[in-house]
Protein backbone atom coordinates (compact mmCIF):
# COMPACT_ATOMS: atom_id res chain seq x y z
CA UNK A 1 0.00 0.00 0.00
CA UNK A 2 1.36 3.41 -1.01
CA UNK A 3 0.36 6.57 0.80
CA UNK A 4 0.93 10.16 -0.28
CA UNK A 5 0.49 12.89 2.27
CA UNK A 6 0.41 16.50 1.12
CA UNK A 7 0.92 19.43 3.44
CA UNK A 8 1.53 23.15 3.30
CA UNK A 9 -1.68 24.45 1.78
CA UNK A 10 -3.61 27.36 3.19
CA UNK A 11 -4.72 30.92 2.68
CA UNK A 12 -2.26 33.45 1.31
CA UNK A 13 -2.53 36.95 -0.06
CA UNK A 14 -1.79 37.71 -3.71
CA UNK A 15 1.95 38.04 -4.21
CA UNK A 16 2.67 35.75 -1.30
CA UNK A 17 4.41 32.40 -1.14
CA UNK A 18 3.65 28.88 0.02
CA UNK A 19 5.62 25.66 0.07
CA UNK A 20 3.83 22.37 -0.47
CA UNK A 21 5.26 19.02 0.54
CA UNK A 22 4.35 15.49 -0.48
CA UNK A 23 5.69 12.54 1.47
CA UNK A 24 5.40 9.08 -0.04
CA UNK A 25 5.44 5.97 2.11
CA UNK A 26 4.67 2.31 1.75
CA UNK A 27 5.79 -0.36 -0.68
CA UNK A 28 7.68 1.84 -3.08
CA UNK A 29 10.59 0.23 -4.85
CA UNK A 30 11.44 2.91 -7.31
CA UNK A 31 9.73 6.21 -7.99
CA UNK A 32 10.06 7.37 -11.54
CA UNK A 33 8.36 10.72 -11.78
CA UNK A 34 6.72 12.88 -9.16
CA UNK A 35 4.41 15.74 -9.93
CA UNK A 36 1.90 18.29 -8.77
CA UNK A 37 -1.46 18.81 -10.37
CA UNK A 38 -4.25 21.18 -9.43
CA UNK A 39 -7.95 21.47 -9.91
CA UNK A 40 -9.86 24.70 -9.53
CA UNK A 41 -13.64 24.75 -9.04
CA UNK A 42 -15.42 23.99 -12.29
CA UNK A 43 -12.19 23.24 -14.13
CA UNK A 44 -10.30 20.14 -15.18
CA UNK A 45 -7.26 18.92 -13.32
CA UNK A 46 -4.11 20.35 -14.86
CA UNK A 47 -0.40 19.78 -14.62
CA UNK A 48 1.48 22.20 -12.40
CA UNK A 49 4.95 20.68 -12.40
CA UNK A 50 6.66 17.34 -12.76
CA UNK A 51 10.14 16.09 -11.88
CA UNK A 52 11.81 12.87 -12.96
CA UNK A 53 14.08 10.72 -10.82
CA UNK A 54 17.02 12.24 -12.64
CA UNK A 55 15.88 15.75 -11.79
CA UNK A 56 14.45 16.89 -15.12
CA UNK A 57 11.52 19.24 -14.67
CA UNK A 58 8.55 20.45 -16.64
CA UNK A 59 6.07 23.18 -15.70
CA UNK A 60 2.65 24.27 -16.75
CA UNK A 61 2.77 27.51 -18.72
CA UNK A 62 0.81 29.45 -16.11
CA UNK A 63 3.34 28.77 -13.34
CA UNK A 64 6.65 28.99 -15.17
CA UNK A 65 9.03 31.36 -13.46
CA UNK A 66 6.97 31.43 -10.27
CA UNK A 67 6.88 27.83 -9.03
CA UNK A 68 9.78 25.48 -8.40
CA UNK A 69 9.50 21.73 -7.95
CA UNK A 70 12.14 19.68 -6.16
CA UNK A 71 12.48 16.23 -4.65
CA UNK A 72 14.50 14.38 -2.06
CA UNK A 73 14.90 10.85 -3.38
CA UNK A 74 16.28 9.54 -0.10
CA UNK A 75 13.16 10.67 1.73
CA UNK A 76 10.67 9.99 -1.08
CA UNK A 77 9.51 13.55 -0.61
CA UNK A 78 8.65 16.22 -3.12
CA UNK A 79 8.22 19.95 -2.70
CA UNK A 80 6.59 22.78 -4.58
CA UNK A 81 7.78 26.29 -3.82
CA UNK A 82 5.13 28.72 -5.00
CA UNK A 83 6.01 32.40 -5.26
CA UNK A 84 4.16 35.44 -6.58
CA UNK A 85 0.88 33.69 -6.05
CA UNK A 86 -2.18 34.93 -7.92
CA UNK A 87 -5.88 34.47 -7.22
CA UNK A 88 -6.06 32.18 -10.25
CA UNK A 89 -3.67 29.79 -8.49
CA UNK A 90 -6.49 28.98 -6.08
CA UNK A 91 -7.15 25.25 -6.37
CA UNK A 92 -6.79 21.90 -4.70
CA UNK A 93 -3.24 20.72 -5.32
CA UNK A 94 -2.64 17.01 -5.75
CA UNK A 95 0.55 15.05 -5.43
CA UNK A 96 1.17 12.28 -7.95
CA UNK A 97 3.90 9.70 -8.23
CA UNK A 98 4.57 7.11 -10.89
CA UNK A 99 6.21 3.98 -9.52
CA UNK A 100 5.07 1.37 -11.97
CA UNK A 101 1.58 2.51 -11.10
CA UNK A 102 0.24 6.03 -10.70
CA UNK A 103 -0.65 7.09 -7.18
CA UNK A 104 -2.49 10.20 -6.03
CA UNK A 105 -2.70 12.09 -2.77
CA UNK A 106 -5.95 13.42 -1.35
CA UNK A 107 -5.05 17.02 -2.12
CA UNK A 108 -4.36 20.20 -0.21
CA UNK A 109 -6.29 23.43 -0.71
CA UNK A 110 -4.47 26.58 -1.69
CA UNK A 111 -6.48 29.79 -1.55
CA UNK A 112 -5.02 33.03 -2.83
CA UNK A 113 -7.15 35.94 -1.75
CA UNK A 114 -6.93 39.33 -0.08
Say what percent of the chain tops pLDDT 90. Answer: 78
Cα 110 to chain centroid distance, Å, stands at 11
Question: Mind listing the pLDDT tens digit for each residue in 3-62?
Answer: 999 999 999 999 999 999 999 988 776 788 999 999 999 999 999 999 998 889 999 999
| Mean pLDDT taken over the chain | 94
Please provide residue 89's backbone torsions phi and psi, each rounded to the nearest 5 degrees.
Answer: -80, -5
DSSP string computed for 2-63:
EEEEEE--EEE-TT--EEEEEEEEES-S---EEEEEEE-TTS--EEEEEEETT--EEE-GGG
pLDDT in the model for residue 58: 97
Neighbouring C-alpha atoms within 13 Å toward the C-beta of 52 = 5
> For residue 73, what pLDDT band results from cuts at 50, 70 and 90?
confident
Amino acid sequence: QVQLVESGGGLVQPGGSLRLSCAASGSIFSINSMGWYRQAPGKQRELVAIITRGGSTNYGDSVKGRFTISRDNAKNTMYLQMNSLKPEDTAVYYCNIVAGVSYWGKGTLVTVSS
